[in-house]
């Protein structure tokens, strides 16, 4: 690898084709080589460099920092998320206050509508959804709860993503909102997926139509990429973009590696490939101010090939005469985005985890490294906890 590829990240546009300023790091030794410049890798780079005083080399095979949260201004100047909509939400004051060192925020409460046979209804299912779908006039929580109870099915055990929905709202609502969406998103029937997947979506008897109920819900005021630039703006951090770990490891030496890519890739797939679900995004700009009433519309019908459409200006608050949207198409091949929660996959992950436990010079973090369907705040929390653990190990070594 050419040392001239060491770059510092710069602001606000798609960096894919523009050479950035360079840093000559040839011959430098690092305390840590971190693979992946998403939340997991960037938070660890920041902690190790600025709190721990360590020298860090951070590499990513993509041409930008930010991992899947990367955003950029498209050809029309509209801030969009390259890898689909990212809304920050958390109940952790500690995680929010850590990130607040690197960004100001815009309050944003996400709302989603589902297109059920041409009618737009709130998802998560709430009282408005029930009244809208069935032409009812349920007036309070008690009436809505009684309606749901009359539909819910009694199951002996709740194991799958189908069970958890059918046991709460019954088969009809399950088919309308969950069955087709889940089959498209995961390439599996909900009966083949852990209950944890659809259990992410609650059912409500009130009229709260927010997608999340976390105490903190916000978007980085100047976007995620700008926040990552601030996280990584430290003299002890060098960054290599468009740089594969397999190449970087040949040219740069570090005492410890932190790997936030897929754990099965690190170990050469020796027990077989862990399944990940991938996505393709179709981005479009329209010559109008608005195309949909909320940030995201879900399309549960299997007759429609995409799962959801996002209109970014709702999320970012940007004022612009045009508007940009993205369609999401789920697929088996391509960049790994989602670990697939099922018992056999977890069992395979555990075999890789055993290898990891026996590898003292590498630490796995993040959604791909630990094969967990984590939100951004959970990855930040995991990275901060990993830093504390690494620090404890270092101070134990000093004592010894
Ligand atoms: P990543 O962001 O995937 O970063 C890993 C990086 O490692 C990648 O950039 C990759 O290029 C790099 N890499 C991997 N292997 C190698 C290698 N061998 N060499 C070099 N580089 C390598 N979370 C929320 O909280 N709210 C949301 O609204 C939300 N929406 C989402 C929507 C979509 C479509 C997706 C896919 C995810 C969403 N998430 C959301 C989850 C969020 O994206 C993740 O929690 C978070 O980005 C994970 O960060 P990470 O650092 O673990 O992984
Ligand atoms: N889901 C669904 N219909 C919806 C929304 C969600 O069936 O309208 C299911 C689907 O299986 C999805 C899961 O619930 O993968 C979790 O949804 P979430 O919006 O949390 O997914 P993400 O934003 O992580 O893709």
What is this model's ipTM? 0.99
pLDDT at 88 over 50: yes
Of 73-77, 83-87, 118-122, 393-397, the least confident? 393-397
* 42 within 8 A of 60, measured Cβ to Cβ: no
Distance CA(245)–CA(314), nearest Å, equals 37
Average pLDDT over the chain, rounded to whole?
A: 93
Q: Is there an atom of ligand 2 within 6 Å of 198 CB?
A: yes
pLDDT digits (tens, 9 = 90+) for 259-301: 999 999 999 999 999 999 999 999 999 999 999 999 999 999 9
Q: Is there an atom of ligand 2 within 6 Å of 299 CB?
A: no
Mutate to test the pocket of ligand 2, among 114, 162, 178 (most ligand atoms within 8 A of CB): 178
Distance CA(198)–CA(124), nearest Å, equals 11
Work out the pLDDT band at 5, boundaries 50, 70, 90.
very low
Mutate to test the pocket of ligand 2, among 201, 308, 309 (most ligand atoms within 8 A of CB): 201
* 311 within 8 A of 371, measured Cβ to Cβ: no
Work out the pLDDT band at 25, boundaries 50, 70, 90.
low
Block residue for tokens 């970087």: 248
Q: According to CATH, what is the number of the domain 3-98+222-272+340-399? A: 3.40.50.720
pLDDT at 45 over 60: yes
Closest alpha carbon to 232 in 14, 7, 31, 392: 7
Closest alpha carbon to 153 in 144, 165, 141, 143: 165
pLDDT at 175 over 80: yes
pTM, to two decimals: 0.95
Element of type H or E holding 245: helix 245-251
> Ligand 2 centre from 258 Cα, in Å?
30
pLDDT at 20 over 60: no
- Averaged pLDDT for residues 185-202: 98
Ligand 2, atom 25: closest residue by C-alpha = 185
CB atoms closer than 10 angstroms to residue 100: 15
Work out the pLDDT band at 4, boundaries 50, 70, 90.
very low
Q: Phi/psi at 253 (nearest 5 deg)?
A: -110, 140
SS (H, E, C) 25-64: CCCCCEEEEEECCCHHHHHHHHHHHHHCCCCEEEEECCCC
The CA-atom distances, in angstroms, between 106 and each of 173, 217, 356 are: 34, 9, 39
pLDDT digits (tens, 9 = 90+) for 296-326: 999 999 999 999 999 999 999 999 999 999 9
Q: Where are the domains of the chain?
A: 3-98+222-272+340-399, 112-198
pLDDT at 36: 98
> Ligand 1 centre from 314 Cα, in Å?
22
C-alpha 260, offset from chain centre? 13
* 77 within 8 A of 12, measured Cβ to Cβ: no
pLDDT at 236: 97
pLDDT at 7 over 70: no
pLDDT at 28: 77
Give residues (CB < 6 A) around ligand 1: 35-41, 59-62, 67-69, 83-87, 244-245, 260-261, 265, 279, 337, 366-368, 374-377, 379
Ligand 1, atom 38: closest residue by C-alpha = 86
> Ligand 2 centre from 182 Cα, in Å?
7
pLDDT at 397: 73
Q: Which ligand is nearest to the CA of 241?
A: 1
Distance CA(120)–CA(113), nearest Å, equals 6
pLDDT at 239: 98
- Averaged pLDDT for residues 216-243: 98
**Taking the C-alpha atoms of 337, 190, 90 and 39 in order, what is their torsion angle to the nearest 10 degrees?**
-10
Element of type H or E holding 237: strand 237-241
> Ligand 1 centre from 279 Cα, in Å?
12
pLDDT at 395: 75
Q: Which ligand is nearest to the CA of 124?
A: 2
pLDDT at 257 over 80: yes
- Averaged pLDDT for residues 27-55: 96
Work out the pLDDT band at 16, boundaries 50, 70, 90.
very low
Distance CA(48)–CA(58), nearest Å, equals 11
Whole-number CA gyration radius for the chain: 22
Distance CA(173)–CA(331), nearest Å, equals 25
* 78 within 8 A of 324, measured Cβ to Cβ: yes
Mutate to test the pocket of ligand 2, among 116, 181, 367, 378 (most ligand atoms within 8 A of CB): 181
pLDDT at 27: 60
- Averaged pLDDT for residues 101-130: 98
> Ligand 1 centre from 292 Cα, in Å?
27
As a residue count, the chain comes to 400
> Ligand 1 centre from 39 Cα, in Å?
7
> Ligand 2 centre from 240 Cα, in Å?
34
Work out the pLDDT band at 14, boundaries 50, 70, 90.
very low
Mutate to test the pocket of ligand 1, among 9, 63, 65, 67 (most ligand atoms within 8 A of CB): 67
Block residue for tokens 């930008």: 64
pLDDT at 172: 98
- Averaged pLDDT for residues 87-96: 98
Distance CA(231)–CA(384), nearest Å, equals 13
State the closest ligand 1 atom to the C-alpha of 368, by its place in the atom list counted from 1: 52
Token pair belonging to 29: 């030794």
């Amino acid at each position: 690898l050419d040392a001239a590829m060491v770059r510092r990240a710069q602001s606000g546009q798609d960096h894919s084709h523009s050479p950035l300023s360079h840093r000559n790091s040839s011959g430098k030794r690092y305390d840590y080589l971190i693979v992946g410049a998403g939340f997991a890798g960037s938070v660890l780079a920041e902690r190790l460099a600025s709190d721990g005083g360590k020298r860090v080399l951070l590499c990513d095979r993509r041409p930008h920092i930010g991992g899947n949260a990367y955003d950029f201004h498209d050809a029309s100047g509209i801030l969009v998320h390259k890898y689909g909509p990212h809304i920050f939400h958390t109940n952790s004051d500690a995680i929010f206050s850590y990130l607040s060192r690197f960004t100001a925020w815009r309050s944003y409460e996400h709302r989603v509508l589902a297109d059920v046979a041409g009618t737009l209804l709130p998802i998560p299912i709430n009282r408005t959804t029930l009244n809208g779908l069935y032409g009812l006039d349920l007036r309070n929580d008690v009436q809505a709860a009684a309606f749901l109870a009359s539909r819910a099915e009694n199951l002996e055990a709740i194991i799958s993503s189908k069970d958890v929905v059918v046991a709460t709202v019954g088969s009809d609502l399950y088919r309308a909102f969950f069955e087709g969406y889940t089959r498209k998103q995961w390439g599996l029937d909900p009966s083949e997926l852990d209950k944890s997947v659809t259990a992410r979506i609650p059912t409500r008897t009130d009229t709260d139509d927010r997608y999340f109920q976390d105490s903190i819900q916000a978007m980085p005021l100047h976007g995620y990429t700008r926040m990552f630039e601030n996280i990584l703006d430290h003299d002890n951090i060098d960054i290599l973009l468009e740089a594969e770990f397999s190449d970087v490891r040949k040219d740069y030496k570090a005492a410890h590696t932190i790997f936030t890519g897929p754990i099965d890739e690190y170990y050469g797939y020796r027990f077989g490939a862990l399944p990940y679900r991938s996505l393709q995004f179709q981005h479009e700009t329209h010559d109008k101010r608005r195309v949909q009433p909320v940030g995201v519309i879900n399309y549960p019908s299997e007759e429609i090939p995409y799962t959801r459409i996002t209109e970014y200006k709702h999320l970012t608050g940007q004022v612009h005469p045009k508007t940009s949207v993205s369609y999401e198409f789920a697929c088996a091949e391509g960049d790994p985005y989602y670990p697939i929660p099922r018992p056999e996959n977890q069992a395979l992950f555990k075999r890789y985890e055993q290898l990891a436990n026996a590898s003292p010079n590498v630490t796995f973090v993040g959604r791909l490294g630990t094969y967990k369907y984590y939100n951004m705040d959970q990855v930040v929390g995991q990275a901060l906890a990993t830093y504390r653990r690494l620090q404890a190990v270092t101070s134990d070594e000093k004592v010894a």
